[in-house]
Each structure stands twice: as C-alpha cells, then as structure tokens.
Structure 1
Amino acid sequence: MRINCKQASRLISDALDRPLSKSEYLRLRIHLFLCGNCNEFSRQLQLMQQTARKAGRGE
C-alpha cells in the first residue's frame, strides 16, 4: 500500500520519537525514494534534531 505525502510526513515525524514498525519503515523508505520533497523534509528534520542535540550539550 502506497502512502501519500501527508502520511509520509507523519511517519517522518513519528520516527524521531519512536521506532517505526517494519511495515511503516518500508512504506516510508519507498515513498522517500520516489518523492524528492518528502526526502528533503526528512533530511531537514534530521538536521534540526542533530543541531538541537548539539545545542543541548553546549557544543
């Protein structure tokens, strides 16, 4: 079952807080492979998370 961009963005956000199920992970990876916009959104969220962690450690 394919997911749309709204569903993908929800899974991208969820993945920051919890492990995705195998099914969720696979559907998201396929969507990210096919959708440049969602792929970029995922990359930006990961970068923000890394930056926030560094700031929290005082780096």
Structure 2
Amino acid sequence: MKTTLSCRDVTRLVLEGEDRHLRLSERLGVRVHMLICKTCPEFARQVQFMRRAVGRWKQYGDDGGDGSDGGAPPR
C-alpha cells in the first residue's frame, strides 16, 4: 500500500468500510489522511449521518410509522 492515500482513495475506503471490515493497513492509512485533510473527515461524518438516518427510516417503516393504529381508519 502507498504511504499516503489520496482523497479519492480515502473516499473509496470510507464507503467500502460500510460494507466490509477494512484491513489494519487501510484503517491506519485512512486515519493518517484524516489528520492532514480538512474535507475527508467531513465526508466521513456525512456518510455516518446518512447511515444513521437510513437506520432510523428503516425502524420507522418497521414500526408501522404511518401514524395509524394498526389498520384502523384515522378519526
């Protein structure tokens, strides 16, 4: 692996980290890059925010969060 990662590499790894466990060398490379870059940490925060939002949206749908009380017509 290269000694320093580009922003493009870090973006790819942040997204891949959502789907798989990154190798130690990949995680270390991302961490080092995050220390010296201003925009990549913001991107990682946005990805984390989207992951939480999607999780909440899924829970909302699973709970029947349509405002109804289990199929009875609204009053």
Aligned to 1:57: 59
Counterpart amino acid of residue 45 in structure 1 = V
**Separation in 2, partners of 1:11, 1:36:** 17
Written as runs of structure 1 = structure 2, the 5 A alignment for 1:1-59 is 1-58=3-60
CA-based RMSD = 1.0
Q: Which has the higher helix share?
A: 1
> Aligned with 2:57: secondary structure?
helix
Aligned length: 59
**Separation in 2, partners of 1:21, 1:3:** 14
Structure of greater Rg: 2
Q: Tell me the TM-score normalised to structure 2 length.
A: 0.75
**Separation in 1, partners of 2:56, 2:32:** 30
> Aligned with 1:31: secondary structure?
helix
Aligned to 2:73: none
4+ aligned runs moved over 3 Å, structure 1 = none
Q: Which runs of 5+ in 2 are unaligned?
A: 66-75
